[in-house]
Structure 1
Amino acid sequence: MEIERKFLVTTPPENYEFFPCHEIEQAYLCTEPVVRVRKEDDTCYLTYKSKGLLAREEYNLPLTKEAYTHLLTKADGNILTKKRYLIPVPGREDLTVEFDVFEGKFAGLMLAEIEFTSEEDAREFPPLSWFDRDVTWSGEYQNSRLSKMP
């Protein structure tokens, strides 16, 4: 089960570039239900996600690089590329902000996601000072939606 909040960011936190970072490329084979392929650094996998905004099922299956490359050609819509910075949440050793800085077609878009172990914790979490609008409930910035934008 994936339980996460998502926030639009217009001004990134200072020195975010010094935190651990992953290069991500992903594309969608289907958006209802969500079936995507992703390459994160040198690791590739296929992911299924059920419907939902705050909480939804998520399953990851490993892929070889060859399988990923083949499935990428079958994807519909935009291929998303981004750098994901892993930033600890002050005072919460159990939480990490996944700060995505998009490249390519969506260059300039920045989103922050935090995964939680319970829906209650997710709902009660106070946004960090550098977070702007909470977009969890609208779904407008779900990656699967971005993949379908003209």
Structure 2
Amino acid sequence: MEIERKFLIKKCSFELSKYDYVEIQQAYISTSPVIRVRKRCSSLGQEEYILTVKSKGMLSRQEFELSLEPADYERLLTKAEGNIITKRRYIIPLCDGLTLELDYFQDLFQGLIMGEIEFSNEAEAKKYNLPDFVLKEVTFDKRYHNSNMSLMPKEDILDLISLSH
């Protein structure tokens, strides 16, 4: 079970050079149900390829992941619908024992900065107070789900980015 809240982030005050990151390339074979393929390259050069299936949901949903071989990832990538999403994800520990996954989107979505915080249960997620670096919560706004972003035409992408500042 994945339980997370998603946020638009203000111009970031984190000193990003202090944190590990991964480069992510992801695409969607299906958006209903969500079937995603993802390539992750760590700042140390380690690569990981993953197929993910997610159930419907906003705050919480079931998630199943399967490791892929690079050739299988490349084959599945050719079956993807819509935009390929690329981003750099920083892993930032927060003072309350939680972790912020801070995504700086690239290419088509350049300028969009979003963060996600995962929780162990829904009660914890619901009582969490928004940190100062949050511009707006978008957990329940479908436009900010990567699967929906992958299907957006360019003009909608530009609107989405302009709304995030």
Q: Which has the higher helix share?
A: 2
Distance 2:13 2:52 in 1: 29
Residue number among 33, 56, 60 corresponding to 2:61 in the alignment: 56
Q: Which amino acid aligns with 1:30?
A: S
- What's 1:22 paired with? 22
Alignment correspondent of 2:160? none
Alpha-carbon separation, structure 1, partners of 2:107 and 2:143: 19
Provide the alpha-carbon RMSD of the alignment.
Answer: 0.8
The amino acid of 2:136's aligned partner reads R
Native 8 Å contact 1:17 1:85 kept in 2: no
Gaps of 5+ in 2: 42-46, 154-165
**Where does the alignment leave 5 or more consecutive residues of structure 1 unmatched?**
none
**2:142 aligned to 121, 139, 142, which one?**
139
Q: Taking structure 2 as the reference length, what is the TM-score of the superposition? A: 0.87
Shift of residue 14, structure 1, vs aligned partner:
2.9
Aligned equivalents of 2:17, 2:54: Cα separation in 1: 29
Please tell me whether the aligned partners of residues 21 and 85 of structure 1 are also in contact (alpha carbons under 8 angstroms): yes
Write the distance in 1 (CA, Å) between the matches of 2:111 and 2:126: 28
Identity of aligned residues (%): 46
1:149 aligns with 2:158: no
Query: Which residue matches 1:37?
Result: 37
2:156 counterpart residue number = none
- Aligned pair count? 148
Q: For 2:147 and 2:13, locate their aligned partners in 1 and report how far apart those are by CA, in whole Å.
A: 26
Which 4+ runs in 1 deviate beyond 6 A?
Answer: none
Counterpart code for 1:127? L
TM-score by length of 1: 0.96
